[in-house]
Structure 1
Amino acid sequence: MATDDENAKALPEGYTYLRQELRFEHTLLGSRMTYYMTSQSFLFTTAAIARAVQWHGVYWFSGVMVPIVGIAASAVLLFSIHAAYGRMDQWRAKEKLFEGKHPLIVLYPEEKHRKSLLFTTLMPWLLISVWIVFAVLIHIFKPQGGGM
């Protein structure tokens, strides 16, 4: 009976490389989402502080500039996410060629893979919507006098 180490060594040539590339893409995607969520939290903090001090006639900063930066960051992230998805799809297509060639090769179902990526797909769209609503509300409820 072969041990797990012997089975792992007997994996088809190239399969381990494919798994490493897929792992790299997932790690890269996770890192991008971390950077994105961090940047968005800083932008929301900036908008809240700028809104709280109610600068005389300078509400354009919290009502225009910060939301534009938030929307632009979301758009850039969406582009990079879809590029990563494309690359993952290429690696997964190559991985499917190894299906059934070794008892340790068990592919993750495509439907579950897509569901696992929902957060990275939907969160930028959600935050784009929040920025748009935020900007519109600031222009509806213009700041009153006072503050700096």
Structure 2
Amino acid sequence: MGEDDNLPAGYLYLHEELRFEHQLLGSRMTYYMTSQSFLFTTAAIARAMQWHGVYWFSGVLVPLVGIAASAVLLFSIYAAYGRMNDWRAKEKLFEGKHPLIVLYPEDKHRKSLLFTTLMPWLLMRVWAVFTLLIHVFQPQGGGM
């Protein structure tokens, strides 16, 4: 029997729920960053080809999809943060009741989540600037 066997069952449950939420956030960010890289590649290829007749594709549609994906991800991130805050509040009830229960400091917890919060906002702004630049520097002749 290990030391974990002596931990309260409620604490172990909360700990696993928090771990699950963090894994979900990590998975969402992986999917998000992968989708964004594909979208940027698509936009760059479309711009390089200077497709006539489908200018709206690289200048409107792809950036719009990038911004929409960012907004959807932010919604799910903030929902996960709310859930994690609920679990952490319940977890604090166990603080000091067992020598192995050491809670992660709140300020460090918030800092650990900065990437998932800031990256979607950053990429939404990048897409907006990209779209603006596309419309300022319209394609010249040639291409398909």
- When normalised by structure 1's length, the TM-score is 0.95
The percentage of aligned residue pairs carrying the same residue is 83
Paired residues of 1:47 and 1:66 also in contact (CA < 8 A): yes
Q: For structure 2, list consecutive stretches of 5 or more residues without a partner in the other structure.
A: none
Question: How many equivalent residue pairs?
Answer: 144
Deviation at 1:8, TM superposition (A): 1.4
Match of 2:140 in 1: 144
The C-alpha deviation readout for 1:67-94, integer Å capped at 9, x for no partner, is 0000000000000000000000000000
Root-mean-square deviation (Å) = 0.9
Deviation at 1:15, TM superposition (A): 0.8
Paired residues of 1:59 and 1:142 also in contact (CA < 8 A): no
Amino acid at match of 1:68: L
1:83 aligns with 2:86: no
Amino acid at match of 1:97: L
Deviation at 1:55, TM superposition (A): 1.1
Q: How does 1:12-51 map to 2 (within 5 A)?
A: 12-51=8-47
Structure 2 CA distance, aligned partners of 1:135 and 1:59?
11
Higher helix share: 2
Q: For structure 1, list consecutive stretches of 5 or more residues without a partner in the other structure.
A: none
Structure 1 CA distance, aligned partners of 2:125 and 2:4?
47
1:72 aligns with 2:68: yes
1:96 aligns with 2:100: no
